[in-house]
Amino acid sequence: MQASIEQAKVEGADLVELCIDSMEFSHISEVDKLIQHPTLPAIVSYRLKSSRKSSDEACKNTCLQVLRRALDLDVEFVEMDYEVASDPLMSEIIYSRSNTKIIVSSYLNGGGKPTTEKLGDVIACMQATGADVMKLEIAVDSITDLAPVFEMLTHCQVPLIALAVGSRGLISQLLGPKFGGFLVYGSLGGKSVPGLPTLVSLKQVYQLEHINPDTKIFGLVSNPVGHSKGPILHNPAFRHTRFNGIYVPMLVDDVKEFFRTYSGTDFAGFSVGIPHKEPAVACCDEVHPLAKSIGAVNTIIRRPIDGKLVGYNTDCESAISAIEDALRERQGINGVASHTSPIAGKIFVLVGAGGAGRALAFGAKSRGARVIIFNRNYERAKALADAVSGEALHFEYLHEFFPEKGMILANASAIGMEPNSDQSPVPKVEALKAYELVFDAVYTPRNTRLLREAAEVGATVVSGVEMFIRQALGQFRLFTGGLAPEDFMRKLVLEQF
């Protein structure tokens, strides 16, 4: 445990929690050594629910012994379960303590969705124990379950910590300081713990010390969301431009319920990812004409003057302009110059008919390309092809489709995205020789299998990173209502990928 404390100090922790219930010790003196020589301020905790290896009575006695010793040694904080704090023996010790602050915690699991009434009752019970700080640890099934938690943080008269367990609870930590949370937790060593940001990301990416009640909330509404690089781009860009905002990943299952729940002006803007780009259109009060024609949004802004949700699509122009610029560079090298789109008249082979696929299809059509769509769900491909006067073919024929040389291939599906980076929508390298340019919207990894194999056969390749940068610049302008620091953001992304 001492090594973990040292690591926490190196990573920038202000405080460490010493979970004594997770230790194996034969005598209280072993605990003394740990408590007496911390290199950081500490919370000493002993959880009954995780330590019941012997009888309940024996566990409780050990718990009381450990916590009493921590209080005697004047550690900064002692955390105990509500059950322990309510014990008459512990109550006497709590009221006779000297400098130590008492954190009383309660774990809520099951019993339906948390409500402000239910949480208020639990908080009142904890407050009655004489707690200096209260802690709610809650199992959540949906990101929308956190709305009453944020309300409690805002209105609670006693310092409150809220920790939502599970991947859908991550924003309980990232947004805690905005709503008045007493502290937040982070995991050590970059270790992935559902519901917890890493300590390194808290210190380097989010820098929560800059967050205050006036901070505007932005985030990626997606499922999955773990692959997103948005936080490492938008948060530093906000600070660079001195814009008071935070950008967080939001793992959303039901997009309509999400926007119904988080309807306040604090939630100011959203990137929209898989699989919500099309359903999110119906959540908007207004939709930009381009996004409406595409039938998908990747950006939603809450308009400050009236709170209405306005949907946009920055995917379309970002992807198509990246492809055009790469083709112009290739043609410039070959001594061919043109002021018209280099896509015009070419066969544009598109893989995927979701939100990103729709953006690419409409963009390619607007430039005069002949759009051919492959999708595992043929009916979706056919519907999109009809919308852009293109053609739909069955997915299994993709590796056999090369009617002419000099085509463009665009992958707008998730094939090849981490953790399945060994996959490619065109697994037969021979088929790639028909393409002059290959674009992959996947940007994790940056250099996908598809792009590597296309480059090997001489095609110009365009990474999804370039599309990501361009669409993020467009989003940032919409988020802030101002200019985006393009050089800063581009450098940041290229350093991180």
Amino acid identity for residue 441 in this structure? A
Rounded Cα gap, residues 55 and 491, in angstroms: 58
Helices (DSSP H) in 287-440: which residue ranges? 289-294, 315-333, 355-366, 378-387
Is pLDDT at 51 greater than 60 in this prediction? no
Look at 54-63, 102-111, 127-136 and tell me which has the smallest mean pLDDT: 54-63
Q: Give just the sign of the alpha carbon dihedral 60, 188, 174, 309.
A: negative
Q: Say whether 468 sits in a helix, a strand or coil.
A: helix
State residue 24's pLDDT score.
78
CB-side exposure of 141: number of CA atoms within 13 Å?
7
Q: Residue 111 above 90 pLDDT? A: no
Per-residue pLDDT at 38 exceeds 80 = no
Per-residue pLDDT, 448: 97
pLDDT of residue 25: 76
Say which residues have a Cβ less than 8 Å from residue 338's Cβ, sequence separation at least 6: 328, 331
Of residues 400, 402, 353, the one with CA closest to residue 374: 353
8 A C-beta contact, residue 376 and residue 395: yes
Q: How far apart are the first and last CA of the chain?
A: 33
CA atoms within 13 A on the CB side of 113: 11
Q: How far apart are CA 325 and CA 59, in angstroms?
A: 68
Strand blocks (E) in 252-356: 267-272, 286-287, 299-302, 309-312, 347-351
Residues 27-36: tens digit of each pLDDT: 777 788 888 8
Q: What whole-number distance in Å separates Cα of residue 190 and Cα of residue 456?
A: 35
Q: What are 159-217's pLDDT values in tens digits?
A: 999 999 889 999 999 999 999 999 999 999 888 888 999 999 999 999 999 999 999 99
% residues pLDDT > 90 (the chain): 77
pLDDT digits (tens, 9 = 90+) for 311-343: 999 999 999 999 999 999 988 855 455 578 999
pLDDT score of 461:
98
For the purposes of burial, counting CB atoms within 10 Å of the CB of 338, is it exposed (0-12), middle (13-18) or buried (19 or more)? exposed
Q: How far is CA 31 from the centre of its chain?
A: 38
- Active site (catalytic) residues: 277
Could you give the percent of the chain with pLDDT greater than 70?
A: 97
Residue 52: pLDDT above 70? no
Instruction: Determine the pLDDT at residue 23.
Output: 81
Q: Give the model confidence (pLDDT) of 377-408 as tens digits.
A: 999 999 999 999 999 999 999 999 999 999 99
Q: For residue 71, what are the contacts with CB-CB under 8 A and spacing of at least 6?
A: 78, 93, 97, 100
Query: Which backbone phi and psi does 94 adopt, to 5 degrees?
Result: -60, -45
CA contacts within 13 A on the Cβ side of 432: 24
pLDDT for 26 beyond 80: no
β 299-302/267-272 pair status: antiparallel
Give the closest residue to 397 by CA, choosing from 370, 418, 428.
428
- In this prediction, residues 3-19 reach a mean pLDDT of 93
- pLDDT per residue as tens digits for the range 448-486: 999 999 999 999 999 999 999 999 999 999 999 999 999
Q: Collapsing DSSP states into helix, strand and coil, what is residue 306? A: coil
Evaluate whether 151 touches 172 at the Cβ level (below 8 Å). Answer: no
The span from the CA of 472 to the CA of 298, in Å, is: 10
Mean of per-residue pLDDT scores for the chain: 92
Q: Quick one: pLDDT band at residue 158, thresholds 50, 70, 90?
A: very high
Task: Count other Cβ atoms within 10 Å, centred on residue 382.
Answer: 17
pLDDT digits (tens, 9 = 90+) for 231-290: 999 999 999 999 999 999 999 999 999 999 999 999 999 999 989 999 999 999 999 999
pLDDT tens string 414-444 = 999 999 999 999 988 889 999 999 999 999 8
Query: Which pTM does this prediction carry?
Result: 0.90
Up-side HSE of residue 366: CA atoms within 13 Å toward CB? 15
